[in-house]
Structure 1
Amino acid sequence: MALSGMRGLSVFISDIRNCQNKEQERLRVDKELGKVRTRFKNEKGLAPYEKKKYVWKMLYIYMLGYDVDFGHMEAVSLISAPKYPEKQVGYIVTSCLLNENHDFLRLAINTVRNDIIGRNETFQCLALTLVGNIGGREFAESLAPDVQKILISSSCRPLVRKKAALCLLRLFRKNPDVVNVDGWSDRMAQLLDERDLGVLTSSMSLFVSLVSNNYDAYWSCLPKCVKTLERLARNQDIPQEYTYYGIPSPWLQVKTMRALQYFPVIEDPSSRRSLFEVLQRILMGTDVVKNVNKNNASHAVLFEALSLVMHLDAEKEMMSQCVALLGKFIAVREPNIRYLGLENMSRMLMVTDVQDIIKRHQAQIITSLKDPDISIRRRALDLLYGMCDVSNAKDIVEELLQYLSTAEFVIREELSLKAAILAEKFAPDLSWYVDVILQLIDKAGDFVSDDIWFRVVQFVTNNEDLQPYAAVKVKEYLDKPAIHETMVKVGAYILGEYSHLLASRPGFSPREIFNLIHEKLPTVSISTIPILLSSYAKILMHTQPPDPELQNQIWMIFRKYESCIDVEIQQRAVEYFELSKKGAALMDILAEMPKFTERQSALIKKAEDTESDTAEQSAIKMRTQQQASNALVVTDQPPVAGTVPVSQLGLVKIPSTSNTDHRPGDQELTHTNGVLTIVDPQPLDSSADLLGDLLGPLAIEGPPDNGSTSEHKMMSPHEGIPSEDALAIATVGEQPNSVQPIGNIAERFSILCLKDSGVLYEDPYIQIGIKAEWRAHQGRLLLYMGNKNTAPLVSVQALTLSPSHLKIERSLVPDTIPPRAQVQCPLEIINLRPSRDVAVLDFSYKFSSHVVNVRLRLPAVLNKFLQPISLNGEEFFLQWRSLSGPPLKLQEVVRGVKPMQLNDMANIFNSFNVMVLPGLDPNPNNLVASTTFYSETTRAMLALVRIETDPADRTQLRMTVASGDPALTFELKEFIKEQLISIPSIPRAPEPTPTQPPQVDLSDPGALLAGLM
């Protein structure tokens, strides 16, 4: 942007940069918008130069994040200006401010078309850029033919044709049904013969899009693509300016090879031979060098060439060469190259002939399982899983089991599932399979799904020779002092069914087996108790002759659980107790489980269904479902006697009861002279009292009116089954850990709800600080994670669980925080609608033998999206009178308020951005306040509050809240009520002093922690 001579714009930008805070900036922007609006109203006296200046200001204000809802016509009108400076401004601002559906764009179509078909190349480029940026349907219908003519015109300069190709590409991607490309095969073939590399590169981008849509119409272009690759890779016949670090136009090479992959296998011997020569040259000429830019370009070409080699089903010799090259790449230090090498090796596995060649690199692939980068570890795991067969299954599964002990939590579930599937598919004998599954459960019980132990039960049940061995193995694990509950389940089930087969062995008598299982009963959850009761019944059945003492002991257990509140446990206890009185008939009733019918493994089916998903992607999908305000109910059924112990987890969606999609209806928001007002198009009742019920008598003794009560029930977002959003309100961060936090987590959160910087969490090893910035419905929250020790923190994970009303984007947190170092994690937050739910940070790390996991509420709360606004009496009364009755105006008597003076209460309101308006209410015991709420759906919404207190009883008050959005009214009312009950005054206490010695400076002077430690 040229600012010479435009002093007013320069001064405005300087003023914005000199603003001390956001409020000053907003006031300066409002002042400037008012000035621009006034000048546009007197447009007749406005010179084109001045109009250009004001339109530039509008664009700058828009780039700052403010809404610019006027001046669009002035911007569009500049498109038709005869001079380049004004026309340039018109095109740039129009493409930024207006979307494809804006009505004003229709007024500019003819002007844009005239510039496109005109002879002024500069104007042509401006017009093509605008059409490409907006890409609307009307533009495509009206202008696509003209853009096509420019592209194939020999009289236009390459610069214009290049922009025409990119413009046509955008129109075709956006509106493929409108842009007519029928019969374009010959024209594209001509374009691919273009000597100018700029036009050829843009045309190739267009060709990739066309051929991906319908490759059959462009067979004639295939030889042209091969010749282009020959020209670049073999002949290197290109100008010097298109050579990037010695590589001939790598972008064009990549696009050309990508286009070739949309065609089926090439059968023409000449084209195939030429293509393989080029690919051979690329494979032989690529190596890892120190220059990062050259590496990026050369490897982009190389990996696209590998994809083309796989697509063409090349000869085994070339495939072996590709695998050898990838084997060299997975051993280099650069993590990006290692990642790509492992990923392409996984794709190579689809070609069965190279599987034996890939096995030669098995040791290096296993080494990649210990890589610091989790992405590389995932790719190595996928590759090992894909390359496993009968010959190497034992080695690979053994490595996976060893890795399981040190793998981080986010990968253990996927690792356990794949190890179980490999053990099942390639087991040399079933006893080895049982050993592997039991080791899995022992090492990673929390991450072993029920499908895995259901499957081992099926194998044991269907193979009689395996039953004694399985019973011996599970007894060995149950003899350990501490085992996972899943091991208790599988051990109790197998011993209950088959321990009688080993009754003659020491340690396998019915009494010993019962005692072994029963000592685990106090440690298990309710879902495991039914399996233990079934085992007791089986042990009782197999005890022949009966042991009266053992029988009485088991009967006492059954009687104990006959009155259990859990229906499943109660039913089993009652039925087993009655059945055990049948004597010898019990043998027929509780006979051994019959063999299961052969079926596809639930594990293998589960892996096939989710083959393309990683564990992290599955977690993201789960969170996305939860954010759609649907509770997820998981039912986990253990196997019971007489039933097949294979059941998939049932996922039941429960629709949310919250009315979160309600938007303002009849009210309209306007912003005049910095004051937000609500204009109701409905006629106001002139007979109504000035404040309606506002100045009515205080009646705290009575409950709220029926309308208010019913509305409260209707609007409650947390009734019925609790959703993820509702659970987010509950206190978190109090999970039991061996490492105790320093200071009170809840108090820190409360303080940060009113402040924008401070310490969120601290323990002896780490300190997490926060610095936040809020503007309207958007916020930026920066987490500072500082390692306080001389040893690194490893396995660091930070997962953001956001409620449905917040859209949070975060950057990745490194797996390791070095000693005395600090890392930053920025969070970009957008508020979608009013809600009191809070986002949760699920944070974990490992230090020495300590594994710490805490869930911390993030202070992205309702009041962060409030901005105080001052209203005079006339403005307040107008809005209050227009909002009459539920659901826009809600009233409630609040009890349990800690007694406080009215001044202290006003301080509380001001602290969470609700401005108290003194003198508006004639009753000195009352206060009224106003604020503006910002969200993506409501934008700016005015909210009004009145508090009526009784001097004789300060523990209760009557509160009335009004706004143009029912959801906002309810949420703000509940939020204020929570604050009045839980926070009696503004927190003035200093931050809790750490009990640790003073920390060293983390060397970053701009970081938050440096000022907090």
Structure 2
Amino acid sequence: MTGMRGLSVFISDIRNCQNKEQERLRVDKELGNIRTCFKNEKVLTPYKKKKYVWKMLYIHMLGYDVDFGHVEAVSLLSAPKYPEKQVGYIVTSCLLNENNDFLRLAINMVRNDIIGRNETFQCLALTLVGNIGGREFAESLTPDVQKLLISSSCRPLVRKKAALCLLRLFRKNPDVVSVDGWADRMEQLLDERDLGVLTSSMSLLVALVSNNHEAYWSCLPKCVKILERLARNQDVPQEYTYYGIPSPWLQVKTMRALQYFPTIEDPGTRRSLFEVLQRILMGTDVVKNVNKNNASHAVLFEALSLVMHLDAEKEMMSQCVALLGKFISVREPNIRYLGLENMTRMLMVTDVQDIIKKHQAQIITSLKDPDISIRRRALDLLYGMCDVSNAKDIVEELLLYLSTAEFAMREELSLKAAILAEKFAPDLSWYVDVILQLIDKAGDFVSDDIWFRVVQFVTNNEDLQPYAAAKAREYLDKPAIHETMVKVSAYILGEYGHLLARRPGCSPREMFSIIHEKLPTVSSSTIPILLSTYAKILMHTQPPDLELQNQIWTVFKKYESCIDVEIQQRAVEYFELSKKGAALVDILAEMPKFPERQSSLIKKAEDAEDTADQSAIKLRAQQQPSNALVLADPQPVNGTPPPVKVPSMSGSVQDHESAAQPHSQPNGALSKVEPQTPSADLLNDLLGPLAIEAPPGAMPTEERASTGAGVPDAVDGAAIVPVGEQTHTVEPIGNIAERFHALCFKDSGVLYEDPYIQIGVKAEWRGHHGRLVLFLGNKNTSPLTSVQAQILPPIHLKMELSLVPVTIPPRAQVQCPLELMNIRPSRDVAVLDFSYKFGTNMVNVKLRLPAVLNKFLQPIQLTAEEFFPQWRSLSGPPLKLQEVIRGVRPLPLPEMVNLFNSFRVTICPGLDPNPNNLVASTTFYSESTRAMLCLVRIETDPADRTQLRMTVASGDPTLTFELKEYIKEQLIAIPTGSRAPAPGPGPVASETQPASPAVTANDPGALLAGLL
């Protein structure tokens, strides 16, 4: 360190800086000094060059751009002494990447060190090549690296680095390793006695066999012998024994390589391998030492994967299941998770269902684990192990858990419980009980397919009809039931309620009364089903009950002028048909039987079973990160919605095949009694697909990000439009993104500040018009010249900025008014492209302007009489959209009320009887929509405040989508504690920057000192 005093002093100066501005000035001074010294080559000694290159690396680690000195760093690679060469290799590795042109200068220097005799220099060169990789290095240096790897004269340290270096080159360019000549050499490398070289070579083998296993068949017996050496003979030096486990990393890599080979034909090799696996399975247990547990279980679970891949005998499979059963009952959550996951995989690829059933009680206990990931794995396992013998127990447990499950799992739970009930029902009455309980407990998360299927079973089984009608009548007695329950109960009672006529409380008049009580609470999609039910009740009432007939006729007359065509047509036709007396019986005859066909739910479940999981190669491929793009659903064409998407059992998204829907007689409009797309009302919302489509004219989030039209996801204050080449960049004072977000919720404050200028904003909003005044304040005693400001408006805003003065005098402030008008709903923001010159420095910044969507909202509070008619009139997408939002910042309800009020959406108290829900309203103004009423409902989960369900409705599809996305962004990403002072009338004063700590935890100086 005595010889590097200049570097030590520089690091101390940086640590002692009180703020970011002081640090930047000190760095600029040092970079200027280094640049000057590099230009004077006569006095630039190797020592000085080394010292300055170290400083460049430290500055680079601090986060500053170092755009010079690369040649000097690369030139140190050819230095004859180790200190200078070490600096060259380290700095080149950090500053350059594989696409940098300077690497061409280094190829010959690196090659000279690789083929040289100095082992230290060889290690430095191999480390550089392994870190950077790149096609040019691969094409030029691969033969030399291969020679080092197979050389018998090189020390193990060099060969180990050569194997890892070759692995990196192979991953970047697989063609560099010739299959024909390298298979035999890999076989020789597996005979290596040094475990360091062997471990590195095994990493290389895993990559090679994953690419082409057929060329490396000769390596398979060698891998089995390595496992025998480690697990059975334990022929391992002490330094490679980790907590009593012989080289666990090498064991894991060896078993992973074996899983890329399809099968093992040789009986002797197969027997030897199973003996090793048996020893691993028998010798692994849970102990208190965490490090030993991690190592032993890494070996164990890789062995389990290999056992499944080899399709071992049932005795060994039973042993594996017993071991996993012990693991799913331990206290350590990670081990429980791995146990459940591997038991599920074993269930998928082998026939061990009967053995796994023995652990059913413990698996059900895991369904109540505090960790949601463990609960998910337990649900998957229960679903996979269910059959006729245990279906009742498992489905009952799922129904019990459904009452307390969070939003994130209820949809999947409901779907799986419905599939299991249908697939393994011991009798149809039990199936009806399960589905009705499912709808009662989780109606929001039950798709229409489920109740359509119940109707099909009841219609096709005469013995089941009285029982189903009696159960439906029982549920209608509850004070509050879900809209889906209203649909299925009304339909079943309309068709088969006459079978209960002799039971108490089941007369036609009583059934009409209890069903009609639900009419005010349902949405417009359910009303057609209720009208059909009333017509059926009237048909079955013989002789006619005049009082009941008049009541039903009154309902029909009420809806004869309904704006909904479906409701209006049914009301008119039912009213006219009911006047025909006995002829009504012939027209509205009993529902015909549905044709027998496979349930769409079961079909999706069967399609989700991946029989190819027996291939370890495919299992490995599934674990690799995917680069596939997720495309949005197409927009509706000619008013026809695209196929609905539902999650399948494997987590993918598949087309939803509609089940046979309940219908009436196939005569004209009366044949269309099947429900339309469900829409939500205030008390009984149906949860639609989570992937809600954007309405026509609204741009999807992914497209907005690609076009640069919307607010960036990362609130880092970066300009929205690409920034061109700048002469000089200043460090802003304060966080630009936080200032912008603060101004989104207030009308005055500081938008931007740096050492030379402060830009303040003051705004006024009236309807769809706005006026912003930009306050440009010069903070220095010298003028700011070449001042330019340009507005880059989005297409939904008309903006006009007044003339900006070219020069701002010293310590002066100028005002620049900006007039704007909102054309249509959008979350896109305008950008201020602002530049000025201070001395010789030209500064350019691009700032988002706080003319955001909520500025054109006007809060309004509605009563129940005003809210409910508007809510019901907006039925379903695209005017009413619903989404489950996860990752919400947890807030108590009073704070959430304040949050909504802050972006001008007013909470309407007392409209929702559920105390955990919020109902809100506001008015949006734009030139295209004028004053448009917007309604919002927020449903929270008291057990998990990080998620909620939001429904947004308005009379404009684009406005509904944009407002929903805007509120979602605020709930997830609004910054906490944002503050920005408002600009004063006089000269703008700068803010005080808090002092930085002397030493931070991630201070690069501490790391650099270790290298010195």
TM-score, normalised to structure 2's length?
Answer: 0.67
CA-CA distance at 1:198 after TM superposition: 0.3
**Which residue is 1:602 aligned to?**
600
CA-to-aligned-CA distance 1:737-767 (integer Å, 9 cap, x gap): 8x644993368899xxxxxxxxxxxxx99xx
Match of 2:372 among 374, 393, 410: 374
Report the alpha carbon displacement of residue 338 of structure 1 after superposing the two structures with TM.
Answer: 1.6
Question: What does residue 346 of structure 1 align with?
Answer: 344
User: What does the per-residue CA deviation read over 1:799-855, in whole Å, with 9 as the maximum and x for residues that have no partner?
Assistant: 6999xxxxxxxxxxxxxxxxxxxxxxxxxxxxxxxx99878589xxxxxxxxxxxx4
1:231 aligns with 2:379: no
Q: Does 1:859 align with 2:998?
A: no
Report the alpha carbon displacement of residue 704 of structure 1 after superposing the two structures with TM. 7.0
What corresponds to 1:529 in structure 2?
A: 527
Q: Find the aligned partners of 1:400 and 1:689 in 2 and give their Cα distance.
A: 62
Within 5 A, what are the aligned runs for 1:620-699?
Answer: 641=664, 642=671, 652=693, 655-656=699-700, 658=704, 661-662=707-708, 664=721, 667-671=724-728, 693-694=803-804
Within 2, Cα distance between the matches of 1:707 and 1:796? Answer: 39
Which range moves more in the overlay, 552-561 or 194-203?
A: 552-561
Task: Write the deviation string for residues 25-60 of structure 1: whole angstroms up to 9, x where unpaired.
Answer: 444444444443444444554333333333323322
Task: Name the aligned partner's letter for residue 497 of structure 1.
Answer: E
Which residue of the partner structure matches residue 208 of structure 2? Answer: 210
What is the CA distance between 1:640 and its match in structure 2?
A: 5.7
Structure 1 residue 548: Cα displacement? 3.3
- After TM superposition, the structure 1 = structure 2 runs for residues 979-998 of structure 1, keeping only pairs within 5 Å, are none
One-letter identity of the residue aligned with 2:312 = A
User: 1:291 Cα deviation (Å)?
Assistant: 1.0
Does the alignment pair 1:798 with 2:946? yes
CA-CA distance at 1:421 after TM superposition: 1.1
Cα displacement (A) at 1:220: 0.7
Q: Provide, for residues 100-151 of structure 1, a one-character-per-residue CA deviation record: whole Å limited to 9, x for no partner.
A: 2122222222222222222221121122112211221222222222222211
Q: For 1:328-407, list aligned pairs within 5 A.
A: 328-350=326-348, 352-407=350-405
Asked whether the 8 Å contact 1:117–1:124 carries over to 2, the reply is yes
- Among 121, 134, 144, which residue is 2:119 paired with? 121
CA distance in 1, matches of 2:429, 2:52: 81
In 2, Cα distance between equivalents of 1:725 and 1:24: 51
Corresponding residue number in structure 2 for 1:412: 410
Shift of 1:398: 1.5
Cα distance 1:362–1:431, how it changes in 2: closer, same or farther (>3 A)?
Answer: same
Pairs within 5 Å for 1:232-311: 232-311=230-309
> What is the alpha-carbon distance in structure 2 between the residues aligned to residue 160 and residue 53 of structure 1?
28
Counterparts in 2 of 1:120 and 1:530: CA distance versus 1, 3 Å: farther
Q: Encode CA deviations 1:418-452: one digit per residue, 9 max, x unaligned.
A: 11111111111111111111111222222222222
- Give the distance between the partners of 1:142 and 1:746, measured in 2 at CA: 62
Equivalent residue for 1:316, pick from 314, 317, 321: 314
- Amino acid corresponding to residue 162 of structure 2 in structure 1: A
Quickly say closer, same or farther: Cα 1:162–1:630, change in 2 above 3 A. Answer: farther
Structure 2: how far apart are the matches of 1:242 and 1:710?
62
Q: Distance in 2 between matches of 1:744 and 1:388?
A: 48
Q: How far is 1:794 from its partner?
A: 8.7
- The offset of 1:4, in angstroms, is 4.9
Please state how far the C-alpha of 1:355 moved relative to its aligned partner: 1.6
Residue 383 of structure 2 contacts residue 420 of structure 2 at CA under 8 Å; is this kept in 1? yes
Give the aligned length.
774
Q: Distance in 1 between matches of 2:125 and 2:495?
A: 80
The one-letter amino acid of 2:73's match is A
- Pairwise CA distance, 1:714: 10
Structure 1 residues 106 and 390, CA, compared in 2 at 3 Å: closer, same or farther?
A: same
For residues 69-101 of structure 1, the C-alpha deviation after alignment (integer angstroms, 9 at most, x for no partner) is: 333333333223332222222222222222221
Distance 2:824 2:476 in 1: 59
Task: Tell me the distance in 2 between the aligned counterparts of 1:172 and 1:587.
Answer: 79
Match of 2:479 among 474, 478, 481: 481
Give the 3-state SS of the residue equivalent to 2:373 in structure 1: helix
Task: Measure, in 2, the Cα distance between the counterparts of 1:85 and 1:386.
Answer: 62
d(CA) in 2 for partners of 1:75, 1:180? 34
Q: 2:156 aligns with which of 152, 155, 158?
A: 158
Deviation at 1:207, TM superposition (A): 0.6
Q: Which amino acid aligns with 1:501?
A: L
Change (3 A) 1:408 1:580: same
Distance 2:209 2:295 in 1: 24
Q: 1:566 Cα shift?
A: 4.1
User: CA deviation digits over 1:3-31, x for unaligned, max 9?
Assistant: 55322322332233333444444444444
Distance 1:567 1:104, change over 3 A: farther
- TM-score norm. by structure 1 comes to 0.67
What is the Cα deviation at residue 906 of structure 1? 7.8
Q: CA deviation at 1:598?
A: 3.0
Q: Secondary structure at the match of 1:119?
A: coil
SS in structure 1 of the partner of residue 348 of structure 2: coil
Matched, 1:903 2:984: yes
Query: For 1:547 and 1:522, how far apart are their aligned partners in 2?
Result: 24
Q: Deviations over 1:389-426 (max 9, x none)?
A: 11111111122222222223322222222111111111
Q: 1:497 to 1:704 in 2, by over 3 A?
A: same
Q: Secondary structure in 2 aligned to 1:798?
A: strand
Indicate conservation of the 8 Å contact 2:77/2:89, yes or no.
Answer: yes
Q: Which residue of structure 2 lines up, in the alignment, with residue 503 of structure 1?
A: 501
Task: Name the counterpart of 1:90.
Answer: 88
Counterparts of 1:767-846 in structure 2, within 5 Å, are: 795-796=943-944, 798=946
CA contact (8 A) 2:884 2:947 kept: no
User: RCO higher in 1 or 2 (8 Å CA, sep ≥ 6)?
Assistant: 2
Could you say if the C-alpha distance between residues 707 and 646 of structure 1 is closer, same or farther in structure 2, counting changes exceeding 3 Å?
A: closer
Counterpart amino acid of residue 859 in structure 1:
P
CA displacement at 1:516 relative to structure 2: 1.2
Matched residue, 2:431: 433
**Structure 1 residues 365 and 660, CA, compared in 2 at 3 Å: closer, same or farther?**
closer
Instruction: Supply the distance in 2 between the matched residues of 1:510 and 1:437 (Cα, whole angstroms).
Output: 25
1:289 Cα deviation (Å)? Answer: 1.2
Q: Distance in 2 between matches of 1:689 and 1:486?
A: 57
Alignment of 1:418-457 (within 5 A): 418-457=416-455
The corresponding residue for 2:899 is 745
Which of residues 121, 124, 131 is equivalent to 1:133? 131
Q: Structure 1 counterpart of 2:465, which letter?
A: Q
Distance 2:271 2:145 in 1: 37
2:12 aligned with 1:14: yes
**CA drift at 1:159:** 0.9
Q: Distance in 1 between matches of 2:825 and 2:501?
A: 68
Distance in 1, matches of 2:433 and 2:188, equals: 66
Q: Aligned to 2:180, what secondary structure does the other structure show?
A: coil
**1:902-960 Cα shifts (integer Å, max 9, x gaps):** 725987x97899xxxxxxxxxxxxxxxxxxxxxxxxxxxxxxxxxxxxxxxxxxxxxxx
Are positions 1:57 and 2:55 aligned together?
Answer: yes
On the 8 A contact 1:634/1:652 being kept in 2, the answer is no
Give structure 2 stretches of 5+ with no counterpart: 614-621, 646-657, 665-670, 678-687, 709-719, 733-753, 757-785, 791-800, 807-813, 832-850, 857-876, 905-914, 917-940, 951-962, 994-1012
**Pairwise CA RMSD:** 4.9
Aligned counterpart, 2:196: 198
